[in-house]
Structure 1
Amino acid sequence: MMDPITAPAADTSVSDALRGMMRGFPTGVAVVTATDASGTPRGMTCSSVCSVALEPPTLLVCLRAGSPTLAAVLARGRFAVNLLRAGGRAAAELFASGDPDRFGKVTWREDTEAAGPHLWRDAHAMADCTVRMSQSVGDHVVVFGGVDRVTRQPEGRPLMYGLSTYGSWPGTDACG
């Protein structure tokens, strides 16, 4: 883990402006999942997902500091990124909520090679990752994951989010 990056005292006008700017930047929606030390599945909706490198295959996710999902990811050293399909809005909203029974309300599975639960019904692709490093930045932690395996569903357009609205990618099937 690297030294944390601390932000200067919050300027709410800049924070509000940034929040407004980013609302206008549409992005895909993912649910990051992991299993904690007691075997409890954890997960949270995350729109801060980025491909970092193809060699070695690396993704990054930004997770809220103090979240049970982040704690499970760092403790176990593994996580899954579930890229949601257009029909996955309910899962996105569920995993963004504080509902303690999230996994009781979705279809999921975790095989022996999975780095975290896979949301089969709601995701069009899943990446199983091993934590390579993490970096605290303000109220979030950036987690870099080496991608060990990618599983793609045969069909499904990505779920998109922007301007406080969900939508789907127009055109042909993005995974075909």
Structure 2
Amino acid sequence: MNAMTGSKDFAIDPKALRQTLSCFPTGVAIATTLSRTGDPVGVTISSFNSVSMDPPLVLWSLARKAGSLPEYRAHPGFAINILSAEQAELCKLFASAERDRFSGLEWTAGTHGVPCIAGCAASLECETHAVHEGGDHEIFIGRVVAHMSSEKTPLAFGKGQLGAFTVD
């Protein structure tokens, strides 16, 4: 086991911290909303979590430097599209600088018109409940107003790699 790193002043090396955090595999999702002009907006996320069952709340975070941040702030809702194992290319597309991410993509309008992407393992449509500061990110808490799940295998991310989440 590696020794714990850090110092009395709690200076943390961001690269080393990223490596440590990669030991905790996460699901992969695309958070979607609509722009102020009504165009679909989406970004790959792995910072997604359940918060509460009563009321039904989930959270995710977005970097303050993200160009789409104003769109998520302005719209009353968002969808969390939990990717299936066969959607690894979508994960990469929505994490890229590509501007027309929805070209040729099959999706339907959910609550408040937010894009719900076809073929996902699951999706949750949310109304924005709260937004909080979180260092270099903003934390969005959403109240789940609709959801669906499928038998598809979820996509997972850990140790810098995409893979399928499987159970025996």
| TM-score in terms of structure 2 length | 0.88
Instruction: Identify the residue that residue 128 of structure 2 maps to in structure 1.
Output: 131
- Structure 2 counterparts to residues 95-106 of structure 1, below 5 A: 95-106=94-105
The 3-state SS of whatever aligns with 1:104 is: coil
Which of structure 1's runs of 4+ aligned residues deviate more than 6 A?
Answer: none
> Does residue 167 of the first structure (1) align with residue 163 of the second (2)?
yes
Q: Using a 3 Å threshold, how does the CA distance of structure 1 residues 125 and 72 change in structure 2: closer, same or farther?
A: same
Q: CA RMSD in A?
A: 1.9
Contact 1:73 1:79 in 2 (8 A): yes
Residue by residue over 1:8-65, the C-alpha shift from the partner in whole angstroms, topping out at 9 and shown as x without a partner, is: xx94x53222111111211100000000120111110000000000000000001111
Q: CA deviation at 1:136?
A: 1.6
Partner residue in 1 for 2:81: 82
Displacement of 1:114 after TM fit? 5.3
Unmatched tracts of structure 1, length 5 or more: 1-9
State the alpha-carbon separation in 2 of the partners of residues 132 and 114 from structure 1: 14
1:48 aligns with 2:47: yes
User: Normalization by structure 1: what TM-score?
Assistant: 0.84
| Corresponding letter in the other structure for 1:117 | P
CA contact (8 A) 1:115 1:128 kept: no
What is the Cα deviation at residue 145 of structure 1? 0.5
Distance in 2 between residues matched to 1:150 and 1:35, nearest whole Å: 18
Q: Give the length in aligned residue pairs.
A: 160
* Identical aligned residues as a percent: 31
Aligned residue for 1:44, secondary structure, equals strand
> Does the alignment pair 1:38 with 2:34?
no
Tell me the equivalent position of 1:157.
153
- What's 1:109 paired with? 108
Preserved CA contact (<8 Å) 2:76 2:112: no
Q: Which runs of 5+ in 2 are unaligned?
A: 1-9
* 1:141 matched to 2:141: no
